Structure 1
Amino acid sequence: MAIDGVSDLWDNLLGAQPDPPGLLVLLTAVAGLLAVGFRPVWRIARNAVTIAHEGGHALMAFVTGRRLRGIRLEFDTSGLTLSSGKPTGPGMMLTLLGGYVAPSLIGVLGAWLLGGNRITLLLWLAIVLLLLMLINIRNAFGVVSVLVTGAIVFAVSWFASPQVQAAFAYAGVWFLLFGGVRPVFELQSLRRRGRMRDSDADQLAHLSHVPALFWVGVFLLVNVGALVIGAFMLAGQWLPQSA
């Protein structure tokens, strides 16, 4: 990215990039699906979903007036977000709800930005969100994980060609859209085997007196809906060109 001044940077950030080839949109969709479906890749790439998940908890805690006490990201791709405040009520429930739906909703936001060809803006928003999250990380692996993710996004946004930026952005958005769905099935599988008795769904069940399976269903409904909406947004990038 050649930048000669602040005004050029601002124009580049807010300006629209050229339409990507329709084939690129389709191929990145396949890549995103394979990254979620192929277990060895998923084990590593799932860290990005965990970052979004814990970021969702943190954002809802902030929005509802709770005090964010810290975020932990673990090597096994699990995470924990701690906040203080009233242990019951809408604020606590929204904080718990924010985790499993966050990757998919971020994916929809990304699809909307890509629909307007705001590829650079999308990448820089990701960097800003990662920096905001970094200041709340409370363990070494979490710091390394966020720093590495942010460094990759920055390197692509600053040094890569527009074509590489487009491929990276589309693949990332598709990954979040697909990747938001799989953890819900993993959650229910672990719950069925009695291995996640304190999951977000179970805590919501305790607060609302509604069965945890209902909340698992809410997560799934939101995330599948986000996948459908995001896919339609991104599909518009290649369907007109293939007609």
Structure 2
Amino acid sequence: MSSPAGLWETLLSAVSRTAPPPVTSVELILAIVAAAALSVPRRSWKYFGLLTTAAHELGHAFAAVTSGQRLSAIHLRLDHSGTTTTYSRSKAATVWSCFWGYPVPAVVGAAFVLCGFHGWGPASIAAGAAALASTLVFLRNPAGYLITAAAIAGALALLLLVPGGFIGHVAVALGLALLVGAVRDLVKLVHVHFRRRSRLATSDAYILYRATSVPSGIWIFLFMTAVGGAWALAIQPVAAVLSAGA
């Protein structure tokens, strides 16, 4: 069994760059299929969607902290809902933190894809685990601890048990899954506004409308633009590999 010092050295080595993994077109096609399999069917989304929920609330929390707000509590629930409670006297800061929920799973997904392709796969997984660990002090419900602890444990298992060169492949696949998951979340948001208006109070777009008088549709469009931008960044290395393998 490794000593604590050995485990610490392993984790520290994860932040160093490895050789870029030789990602093939066949692997990418399989990764895209796996991403769809995680994010589209209800059974798999029931579990994988919890990770996008954690990223969503982490987006709110990070935006709040970086805009000078006081972060008070984060709740994550097993039904894929979540709440981040902040305090601020600045309306602009409140709007800023409210906006960054839906785009962040896609932004994180694009970061994983790009890092995976360029030899920073282990570092991206370690950074993700550290970001999740930083929220533990703000979690206020058992489900939140369960979801976050499971995600951190999965990241640590990757870093400790999987060769660094292979983690790049995992980062690419995970990033693609988060990108697909971000699109599914946006589809769900649009569905709330058109078909389940009784749940409007839970919509970030509606909350932003109430805070700014800017219509919810504009905010949804801005969410889509941010998610689309993340997709545009991530798709470049993917398209290069697929075109080379054609």
TM-score of the superposed pair, with normalisation by structure 1: 0.90
Equivalent in 113, 129, 136 of residue 127 of structure 1:
129
Residue 180 to residue 119, structure 1, CA distance change in 2 (3 Å): same
Equivalent in 203, 206, 218 of residue 210 of structure 2:
206
Distance 1:5 1:32 in 2: 30
Q: What 5-or-longer segments of structure 1 have no aligned partner?
A: none
Matching of residue 215 in structure 1 with residue 227 in structure 2: no
Matching of residue 232 in structure 1 with residue 245 in structure 2: no
Partner of 1:185: 187
Partner of 2:160: 158
Distance 1:9 1:35 in 2: 28
Q: Is the 8 A contact 1:101 1:223 kept in 2?
A: yes
- Aligned-CA RMSD value: 2.3
Deviations 1:58-104 (A, max 9, x none): 00110111100010001111100000112x52101111101011101
Shift of 1:164: 4.9
Matching of residue 65 in structure 1 with residue 48 in structure 2: no
Residue 205 to residue 39, structure 1, CA distance change in 2 (3 Å): same
Residue identity opposite 1:98 in structure 2: W
Partner of 2:91: 89
Distance 1:180 1:11 in 2: 30
Q: Is the 8 A contact 2:20 2:118 kept in 1?
A: no
Deviations 1:16-70 (A, max 9, x none): 2342331323311221122111221112110000000000000011011110001
Q: Percent identity?
A: 24
Distance 1:191 1:5 in 2: 48
Residue identity opposite 1:146 in structure 2: T
Equivalent in 1, 17, 35 of residue 15 of structure 1:
17
3-state SS in 1 of match to 2:75: strand
Matching of residue 28 in structure 1 with residue 25 in structure 2: no
Matching of residue 43 in structure 1 with residue 46 in structure 2: yes
Residue identity opposite 1:41 in structure 2: S
Equivalent in 64, 74, 78 of residue 75 of structure 1:
78
Deviations 1:187-239 (A, max 9, x none): 12112221322221011111221111111111112212312321223333554
Distance 1:49 1:226 in 2: 15
Distance 2:151 2:102 in 1: 20
Q: What 5-or-longer segments of structure 2 have no aligned partner?
A: none
Matching of residue 55 in structure 1 with residue 58 in structure 2: yes
Distance 1:167 1:111 in 2: 9
Distance 1:142 1:14 in 2: 30
Distance 2:15 2:41 in 1: 34
Distance 2:236 2:242 in 1: 10
Matching of residue 100 in structure 1 with residue 102 in structure 2: yes
Residue identity opposite 1:70 in structure 2: A
Partner of 1:173: 175
TM-score of the superposed pair, with normalisation by structure 2: 0.89
Residue 30 to residue 92, structure 1, CA distance change in 2 (3 Å): same
3-state SS in 2 of match to 1:77: coil
Q: Is the 8 A contact 2:21 2:117 kept in 1?
A: no
